[in-house]
Amino acid sequence: MTAPRHFLDLDRFDRNTLRSILDTAVEFKREGDHGQSRKLLDGRTLAMIFEKPSTRTRVSFEVAMWQLGGHAIILSDSDSQLIRGESMADTGRVLSRYVDAIMIRTTHASKLAELADYSTIPVINGLTDESHPCQLMADIMTYEEVRGSIVDRKVAWCGDSNNVSRSWVHAAVRFGFRLRLASPEALRTSEDHDRQWIAAENGDVVYTEDPEEAVADADLVVTDTWVSMGDDPGESRHNILAPYRVTKALMAKAKGDAVFMHCLPAHRGQEVTADVIDGPQSIVWDEAENRLHAQKGILAWCLR
């Protein structure tokens, strides 16, 4: 039996494979909802397990399956036996007998790994505490749609160091752009492994505590919530992160034609001001839309 095509993290892929998934995504978007792809996943079923809330990931995957001719089943936290302690291993073995692929949003990356190890069908990472690779596929697609190739561009992350920023690190190395990550040292999760990997892969990624240094001359400025799902929301967290808020003044340090992105959901007045996220440099709604197209590319790759 051939190994299933899991989509777990961007660092596990080579550049050409990621590029081909994006090319497919762009093609799906161009074709719209009425082309050849209508029957691509005819009769195929995706099970979606959510151990954390979701709006975009849930709806975009379900619509993607439907538009490609397939079907999706949602298992929310309270629906499955996972909540009563059934293991990821057993869940993967059982679902592999019913459906064609599994998308999971969970807490620890080890749960995703266990599910993938025991499933004989593709498993897609729909976010863990450690990463959010589907988001990054949509993000790269979106940047390139509005500004052309991201290769050698400068991207600045300002805010918490979290699952999304970690996938930005993977994307920087795999897609070949420069990344400056500004976040408070006190909130950084262990990044030693990432630093070693970046060096081994000759990536151009710099961690800093200075948001202005990160944003200087950037082509793209990105942020995310200060309180990720599962984080302890404390006043001190907000105080530590306040200097990293993306404001008009901070955006003014980037290139004149720089764009702003945020995976959403956003908290106006916290990680970003309303005049930035709702302003002319923001491309967050295209970014959200592209989750649909990028995930069609991922599904097509996994289920080919």
Type of residue at 31: E
Is the Cβ of residue 55 or residue 120 nearer to ligand CP in the bound state?
55
- Write each residue from 243 to 282 as x if it is in contact with ligand NVA (CB under 6 A), else as -, in one continuous string: --------------------x-------------------
Q: CA-CA distance, 145 to 28, in Å (whole number)?
A: 14
Cα–Cα distance, 73 to 260 (Å, whole number): 34
Q: Which residues bind ligand CP (CB under 6 A)?
A: 54-57, 127, 135, 263-264
Residue 105 annotated among the catalytic residues of the structure = yes
Give the angle 26-106-103 at the CA atoms, nearest 5°: 40
Residues 123-142 that bind ligand NVA (CB under 6 A): 127
How far apart are the C-alpha atoms of 9 and 133, rounded to whole Å? 6
Separation of alpha carbons 109 and 119, rounded Å = 15
User: At what angle are helices 56-67 and 284-303 packed, to 10 degrees?
Assistant: 50
Report the distance separating Cα 58 and Cα 77, nearest Å: 13
174 is catalytic: no
- The nearer residue to ligand NVA, 31 or 231, going by C-beta atoms, is 231
Report which of 110, 164, 154 is spatially closest to residue 134, judged by C-alpha positions.
164
Q: Which residues contact 235 (CB under 8 A, 6 or more apart)?
A: none
Contact with ligand NVA (CB under 6 A) among 161, 162, 183, 281: 162
- Number of amino acids touching ligand NVA (CB under 6 A): 9
Between 225 and 273, CB nearer to ligand NVA: 225
Catalytic residue, from 58, 132, 178, 262: name it: 132
Reply yes or no on whether 291 is catalytic.
yes
Q: Which does 55 bind (CB under 5 to 8 A by kind): ligand NVA, ligand CP, none?
A: ligand CP
283 touches ligand NVA by CB under 6 A = no
**Distance between CA 199 and CA 204 in Å, rounded?**
8
Q: Which of 291, 293, 295, 302 is an active site residue? A: 291
CB 111 to ligand CP: min, Å: 17
Nearest residue (CB) to ligand NVA, 157 versus 177: 157
CB of 268 to ligand NVA, least distance (A): 16
**CA distance linking residue 61 with residue 72, whole number of Å:** 8
Catalytic residue among 134, 158, 263, 302: 263
User: How many whole angstroms from its chain centre is CA 45?
Assistant: 22
Mind telling me the catalytic residues?
105, 132, 135, 224, 263, 291
